[in-house]
Structure 1
Amino acid sequence: MSFDADTLIERRRLRRSLSAWRIAAVLAVAAAVGALVVGLDGASFVEKRQAHIARVPISGLIRGDRDRLKMLDEIATSGAKAVILAIDSPGGTVTGSDGLHTALRRLAEKRPVVAVVDGMAASGAYIAALGADEIIAGRNSLVGSIGVIVQFPNVTGLLKSVGVEVEEVKSTPLKAAPSGLVPTSPEARQALQSVVDDSYGWFKSLVKARRDLDDAELRTVADGRVWTGAQALELKLIDRLGDQDTALAWLNEARGVDKSLPVRDWKGSRSATDEIKLTTRVLAALAEAAGWPQLAQNLRTDPVALSTALDGVLAVWHPPVGQ
């Protein structure tokens, strides 16, 4: 009888110990979720689900950026009522700028988009600005550089001076041309020029369509130079002079967006879905340790199981290499 009582007491002690571990696991889960909600990309899921105006910075060299394109799609399903593009970039690659422009036009079908040129929107960055519904620039901002360029070093003279001769065997004369290691043939130069001309023609057609220019107006602005904001306004490359406050006023007057809404920065980093997948892996391990195998299994088989509650966040001017 004494043995049975001791066994019962020990079982109760083990149950209390197991309950304590489960409570600790629950607290750890709560802390992990809290950290996710509060600290993701400088702003919380809660904030980005609330009504606001999204501010998207476009700076530096523009290249293909899957994270940024994904982010723009996420803005369309967030609480953002409008989007301000804060542009300060010399441009970038034609393909990267084209992809960014396409994503912005897709976003503009769901949210009003206004571009504000903080310092420069040249070449590919101007392509991005053309994705907005309205373009605003500072009086002395630089805008334009409508053109395409490919640059490559030719070191044949240097190689010859040091006694180095590059030999090559290739399938056709235009394979890997130009290389810079051998003199550029007229045929290779002509082939490269055709590529530049094709991209340039596309760029000009985009400007003509988005800015509603006639042929004479297009010839004036598409000679490759940059213009100040004041010049760009006269040439119809932008819509007005101003800054972010001007953009907020336009959004209110033209699109009925409350200009008192908070402006929140969206940055191209890991998306909300990626963060949720990472967090749910951690939560699955915690659930397993806490003795909840079914919950752990559910999290592993559906890594975005939490997304129902936490859904959503998340071309160059005189370039040295190419545009």
Structure 2
Amino acid sequence: MIKKFFAPFIAILECITKYFKAFVFLLIVAVLIFSTREPKQHPNLARIHLKGAIVDSAMLRTQIEDLRNYPSLQGVLLVIDSPGGAVGASVEMADLIKELASTMPVVVHTEGIMASGSYYAGVYASKIYANRGALIGSIGVLFNGANLQELFKKIGYEPQIIAAGEYKEIDAYYRDWTQKERAYIQNLIQEEYQTFITDVAKARNLELKDSSKFAEGRVFNAAKAKELGLIDDVISRNQAIDKLKELAQVEEALWLEKSSWQGYLDSLVESTLSRMLGSMLGVGLQ
């Protein structure tokens, strides 16, 4: 009975372990082969994207590192449409964008959602814009856990665990947290939250003492986000591009273009990772 219950999950994990790394390797090889056939470009502007659940910073890092091959670049448009994700990855992305913005203007635009971890990721951009239908904010931190104790009782499954360290079983799925564990988690999450709001306040020139107005996990429409100082203006994508051209001192935009094949592979890897791992996040900015 127990084996039948867990069989689908085990099969999925085995498939990922067995084939996913090979799949990604083949995609990388294909990208390298096809990208070498592209004509030499001399762009002055580039687009990079942050879409879907944030699992790690690898996709954004790859896009930014690719920009180094084009010394003619003078500015970057970062398009964000993401509900957030893992804490560490969001912080790493924020640092990557901060470093990039120190070398050239980086303008963020969102027409969907720029919330929690994805807001963190883009907070150090030179300017942040959104269209009037976008949702911004959700500045907060959560810790996901599950207590499957009652389910295990019903199916007759009783785990046997030996652990060393008072808090080692904090992520245990077979029992509820103790009061000490709950207090420890709350303190940990509060520390992460404090780091989050401090970085936002510093990057956006906001008063930390006003964090109850712009944070606390609330989501705002674009107009309210502008009023609170979370974004610079409510404008369209084309208008954001015009702002980027002004900052980059570019009269005619010459965009860095990916081949259709490379763009397709990037989208495929990104969507696959988001769907497979997005729901498995533990501590997250969501």
> TM-score by structure 1 length?
0.66
State how far apart, in whole Å, the 1-side matches of 2:77 and 2:221 are.
21
Shift of 1:246: 1.6
Q: Residue 46 of structure 1 aligns with which residue?
A: 40
Q: Choose which of 208, 213, 224 in structure 2 pairs with 1:215.
A: 208
State how far apart, in whole Å, the 2-side matches of 1:208 and 1:198 are.
15
Q: Unaligned 5+ residue runs, structure 1?
A: 1-34, 271-317
Does the alignment pair 1:261 with 2:253? Answer: yes
* Contact 2:131–2:237 (Cα < 8 Å) also in 1: no
State how far apart, in whole Å, the 2-side matches of 1:127 and 1:36 are.
29
**SS of alignment partner, residue 263 of structure 1:** coil
Shift of 1:170: 1.2
AA in 1 matched with 2:189 = V
Residues paired across the two proteins, number: 237
Equivalences for 1:240-319 in 2 at 5 Å? 240-258=233-251, 260-265=252-257
Deviation per CA, 1:89-146, whole angstroms, max 9, x where unpaired? 1111111111111111111111110000121101111011213110000112011010
Note closer, same or farther for the CA distance 1:157–1:179 as it changes in structure 2 (3 Å cut): same
State how far apart, in whole Å, the 1-side matches of 2:280 and 2:138 are.
15
Q: Residue 228 of structure 1 aligns with which residue?
A: 221
**SS of alignment partner, residue 112 of structure 2:** strand
What percentage of residue pairs aligned between the two structures are identical?
27
* Contact 2:197–2:208 (Cα < 8 Å) also in 1: no
State how far apart, in whole Å, the 2-side matches of 1:143 and 1:319 are.
21
Q: Residue 106 of structure 1 aligns with which residue?
A: 99
* Contact 1:76–1:110 (Cα < 8 Å) also in 2: no
Equivalences for 1:93-172 in 2 at 5 Å? 93-172=86-165
Two-structure CA RMSD over aligned residues (Å) = 2.8
State how far apart, in whole Å, the 2-side matches of 1:139 and 1:73 are.
32
Q: Residue 29 of structure 1 aligns with which residue?
A: none
AA in 2 matched with 1:40 = S
Q: Unaligned 5+ residue runs, structure 2?
A: 1-29, 263-277
Note closer, same or farther for the CA distance 1:131–1:266 as it changes in structure 2 (3 Å cut): farther
Equivalences for 1:174-193 in 2 at 5 Å? 174-193=167-186
State how far apart, in whole Å, the 1-side matches of 2:222 and 2:161 are.
49
State how far apart, in whole Å, the 1-side matches of 2:35 and 2:185 are.
45
Note closer, same or farther for the CA distance 1:263–1:123 as it changes in structure 2 (3 Å cut): same
